[in-house]
Structure 1
């Protein structure tokens, strides 16, 4: 690619979390200091992971590094995250590309921008183990190798860490501080990736290999680097954590682009052709290439069935041309059979042999599997007996005009689903909406709203035959998603706290959760609503499934964006709030580390010291039963009120802790927000958070009860400092709450139109 293509002014397509400096970090002049290590991080569609990646590299104690992040025209909020982090740490430089160029070319660009003695190519959804960067810097300074190879572990989507299967090559036998490839050729058997190798920059530039376009772009770089190096070094320490995501992995998806591997293989052997000293490695490299290609072929998710014979034929041609003279087939009898069939180009017998091996493997596991299925089958038999009607209905046609709505585990008509329901009645009147409401809450359903009770025959029929499903939590595990049905997850708050798979690192918050079942339910989602960029980042990481993210704001907040003084007056009268009094809505979150609900401060003292000017509206988290508060002139229990949006509009200020209600309340531009953070450290460590609310709050932060009382007594929530903080918070976390979120949802989900907006 011509250099001028990358030096043009860089365009942007994403929303910024907040305004950065006048001159973007990517365009600031290079620093005069000379780093020992440049870490190059191409970035594309990893908004849920890139923050942790960069934080793990930017160790505050690691001097002598620079990080070059190349935003490869990422269509999500990666660019904004990079700018935010670069503004906070001068060691991070960002280059935004005006078009997507792919991983290989983005790495090459980062290499051209690097100033360090060494370069380390990082994938932006992976991360460095704690202390790894310092360990790498120490080893580089001590040994000055051409290439330093570091150990790694895989992190599976469920949090399990899997050691490197080739880790033995780091220590068996013990390696000298530096060596040549000919002295330890097994180094070529270590994971064939760029990210586990730290490379002397001048050596890489002088040797000449560049990362290629297409899949497997690092093969033709990493192997030549190892073969030609005068000084190799092994760091027997897990430095790199390779995150194996459930979805989004390019090389773990079916595509004809896996044929790119053959061009990369040819580049490796062309390098050996041009470098006579590499002859001793030909046999080992041939086996590495054939083993890699057969792995691609035999994985069900890589090569389309219709392309497998062609792929096998390409590999046969490569094998015949590149097999070294006198090459002996490594391994056991099965591998020898594969090699012979490959040489003959006999794909059908090869496929039969692979199928036979798989069948034998399954047969060995059959006794254990049979026991599991027997146990599962007995449970399912009992369930199926009571749900035979549902199974019959699953065979009936889908009702294209039926929408099933639910909220808060069938507690009533509320939240984002309710706002979408109302807008659909206006914009898509051909649709019929039915709500699932448990019997105890049926009395709160507005007149004219069709609803069913869970478990009834009508409920089972609707769940089997509806075209659309809209919920702010989740439907039961037993619900079957039929082809053609559409599930919409609206969520019900901005995730200040960790959610989904992120909770696995916090046992207190994760107690009793079944993450595999949680992700299986998320696999049903076709659409997931996001209220702001922070939410998008957290949802991608917490629920790594294949859905369309609708960055449109929360439909329930349309009411807050459009609230009028007349509506506010009406709601205050209905709640019995006397004229002239300041109504403070107290809405705390749930705490997993505490049993039951107890206010985090002395409510009586608060009301007494603030006097008759104030009335406190108590609204505990919906996990707790209504009516356990008190009712009087200064304190009102509003836990049973059906609409939290009504309470927000009617109140004069919000008092909360870490509840997501603050992000919604901020839509009301003229309403103060006070955060009582008297147990912040405990909550942060037990529940996990995505954002430090004490560092950039929506107003006043009180650390103690005395500070809380004093803030209201002095009027601090209404002063200029609090107003500015609230404005910055609203700009960052309410960018799409313009009163039209429900319309955007209806137009995209039900009418198939471009939603516009965020």
Structure 2
């Protein structure tokens, strides 16, 4: 008897069916049967199912003599099922990798409940992926299994059959079957959840819910949406037959009214001329199933009173109001833009203020934040301001005054501040004045191609305006560099008259100055358990991919490594798991480096910063060829790595499981990497920059040799993190040149 019976009904989905079936048969948990039901489909679905059955014995083909609809096809699949649990999957959707393994593990943890509810994500034709907005209802915190009374919020999660696993014996004992109709999921899911004696949740996306560009069944304009009334009649009939479920009538009533209001207000659902009839039936249902005292939302009054014409009049009035507001907003913006332009031109004619400095960073804080702190510490007379772009307010350091882009204060600061510091391009309309000093910090040491080298890399360059890039370069006075490799690269790909300051990267100063107490505080703030080995996973962006999903199955890796490891995931798509801490929105990468014990990356520049900490680094280079082809690389990372190199996920797991990640060979590779890319990162880079740029000093603080540096200690067990002697060779010059 298999653990899972995965039931896939198929009707006119020949373009999507192979991906659906492949997603099931490729699961890492193989104890399953796949019951593929050909619902008398007129296309090639039946032939495709037979082809899969011939290749894999786990596939049970079922061919129906006549079309029964989605509910009937599912019932036919249930009749053929022999697994412990039933899992329904629509034939244009897919299971995520390792979904069934995660479901099986959670079922075991919670004692085989009647129903397990898991999460899904909507996937769009353009590559976008949006997780269920009510994912918080699926938290695994608290006791499990539980009854619906303990977590009534589950009734607000999307009422579909395919986001749950059902114990087959439970389904058979209560005789649950799908009814015919358009909304067959409604009278299935409500009774199932109300009846289940044990429920559990899995906080993991297990299904990718495909949003078709055209052709979604429930998104079509049809009178079939009137089927909703019959389905809710079935739901309330089920409750009326079971007096013990009467307490759920208020919640079911609210859900019903909200469902009716949603269908009515959607423009693409009801045919022209049928809205009044739909609202009259909805009003009749409102009166029939009303529960006195049930709290309703404002939009529910539409159903209660059947205000069809009133609703249409309000819609028209709202449309007129929106158009008037849009015109007014456009006029106000035009006037404001003209006024700010005049204000900026006036400010350009006023004297520069030598005691003012403006800072900004494209992402997080980085080098500009470290320099801003050094400006205030070494030159107290200076007043600093930070440009806080929308959505980045959390990344603003605590010291400087905040400037909102586009405000009068913003334009005043750009026009009259002597020092402007940024890691990306400043405002395009900014005019550099005589006496102003522009400091370009860049964003770390380059591995992938940048600047003019992207002319031949359209995937990576995207919409880069190279003429504008060169105009911005012409405004730079100083460019920061952390090593000779970066210096030679920046001066070639950003040709200009600026001066390169090869003094180290200010953002890495904190890595040398932090203490063990700082590390412990940061780990506690992130929720890293005491004694755990914290892996910071920070992958690079893939220019050749629209979606930026992690290439690694992080949950599988942690399962294989055991409970001692936790993972700090700095990924574009937030990762989830019991031992995965999402730090994708954390504004301070340096804090994440300090809190971790080992860095797991691929081609991200953070590896050059992390090497200064003298902590283990593991690089995953499985798609190196694709990355190099799309972005280009200045050297082959596999030939000169900062630590152990994994060319596959299994090899990566082996590196951690065997301890190679922190072994002597990895330490030797890291030492050579540090010598080449971290010669100046001794904790005083920001000081050297400020003394040269602001104070005009030429005698700068000497560089601490690599062997004499004491970077912040790791919180991991000391015997595992062995530091080998630094390789011999010439040390960086210390005369500030």
Q: TM-score, normalised by structure 2?
A: 0.49
Relative to the length of structure 1, the TM-score reads 0.47
